[in-house]
C-alpha cells in the first residue's frame, strides 16, 4: 500500500505502532507510536489536515480499528480498511475454530503437548494458565524480559515464511499442535500448509469484531477509492 501511494506521488504518512524494534523501511514519511485513544487520533487528523484514512492494521489490532472508526466519524474523515481475506480450511486441514484466547488455551487440553504458539508476543501470558505444555514461539525481535511461560523457547525470524522452512521447524521441534490467529494473507500461511502435510491439528483464533466500515481486499481497490 505504501509503495503504491509513493509511486502515485500521494501526500501520505505511514503510522507504526512502534512495537517492532527494526520495522521494514517504507517509501513514505513515517510516524511511530500511539495517538492517545479516539480523541488523540481525531486531534491528529484535524491538526494534520488528513483527508482520507486507510486502516491497514493487523486484523487482530481491533482497538486501533475501533478508534479509527470513531475518530473518522467524529471528524468526518473518509475511512477504508485494507483487510486480508481470512484463511479458509482446505481438504486435509484439522482446524478447530475458537473465538478468543481463553478458548484457545482450553482447546489444548490437559495432557502435555508440544505446541507451536504462532500468535506473536502480545498475548503469551494467556497461556500461562496451561503450564503443562511446551511452547515454541516465533518472534520478530528477541525477548527483552523473561517469557511469561514456564516451558517455552523462542526462534527469532521475520516472514514471509516458506512451507519447506515451516515443515522443518515443526519436525525439528516435534510439534504436536499449532495455535494461530486467523490473520489471512500469504506471509504466514506456510505453517498451515505444513500442518496439513504433517497431519497436525491447528487451533485457529477467529478475528475480533470491529464496527462496520468500508473494506477493500486489494491495494488496487484502495487506490480506486482515492481516485489515484
What domains can be seen in the chain, in order of their start residue?
Answer: 2-84+209-225 (no CATH), 94-205 (3.40.50.720)
What's the pLDDT tens digit per position in 22-57?
678 899 999 998 999 999 999 999 999 999 999 999
Give the pLDDT of residue 123. 87
Q: What is the pTM of this model?
A: 0.84
Rounded to 5 degrees, φ, ψ at 30 are -120, 135
What's the pLDDT tens digit per position in 177-224?
999 999 998 888 999 999 999 999 999 999 999 999 999 999 999 999
Structure letter (DSSP) for residue 135:
E
Cis peptide preceding 83, ω within 30 of 0: no
How deeply is 137 buried, as exposed, middle or buried, from its count of CB atoms within 10 A (0-12, 13-18, 19+)? buried
Give the pLDDT of residue 27. 93
Mean pLDDT of the chain: 94
Query: First vs last Cα of the chain: how many Å apart?
Result: 12
Rounded Cα distance between 80 and 187, Å, is 22
The percent of residues above 70 in pLDDT, for the chain, comes to 98
Q: Provide the CA 71 distance to its chain's centre, in angstroms.
A: 22
Contact assessment for residue 163 and residue 194, using Cβ atoms and an 8 Å cutoff: yes
Rounded Cα distance between 90 and 95, Å, is 10
Amino acid at each position: 500500500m505504501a509503495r503504491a501511494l509513493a509511486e502515485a506521488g500521494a501526500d501520505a504518512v505511514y503510522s507504526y505502532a512502534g512495537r517492532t524494534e527494526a520495522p521494514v523501511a517504507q517509501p513514505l514519511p513515517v510516524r511511530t507510536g500511539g495517538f492517545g485513544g479516539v480523541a488523540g487520533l481525531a486531534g491528529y487528523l484535524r491538526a494534520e489536515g488528513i483527508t482520507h484514512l486507510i486502516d491497514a492494521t493487523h486484523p487482530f489490532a481491533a482497538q486501533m480499528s475501533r478508534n479509527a472508526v470513531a475518530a473518522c466519524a467524529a471528524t468526518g474523515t473518509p475511512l477504508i480498511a485494507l483487510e486480508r481475506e481470512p484463511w479458509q480450511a482446505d481438504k486435509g486441514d484439522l482446524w478447530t475454530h475458537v473465538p478468543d484466547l481463553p478458548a484457545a488455551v482450553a482447546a489444548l487440553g490437559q495432557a502435555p503437548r508440544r505446541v507451536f504458539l504462532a500468535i506473536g508476543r502480545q498475548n503469551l501470558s494467556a497461556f500461562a494458565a496451561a503450564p503443562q505444555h511446551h511452547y515454541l514461539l516465533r518472534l520478530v525481535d528477541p525477548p527483552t524480559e523473561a517469557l511469561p511461560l514456564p516451558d517455552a523457547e523462542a526462534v527469532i525470524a521475520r516472514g514471509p515464511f516458506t512451507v519447506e522452512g515451516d515443515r522443518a521447524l515443526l519436525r525439528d521441534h516435534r510439534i504436536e499442535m499449532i495455535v494461530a490467529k486467523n490473520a489471512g494473507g500469504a506471509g504466514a500461511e506456510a505453517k498451515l500448509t505444513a500442518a496439513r502435510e504433517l497431519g497436525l491439528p491447528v487451533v485457529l483464533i477467529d478475528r475480533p469484531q470491529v464496527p462496520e466500515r468500508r473494506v477493500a481486499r486489494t491495494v488496487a481497490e484502495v487506490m480506486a477509492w482515492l481516485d489515484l
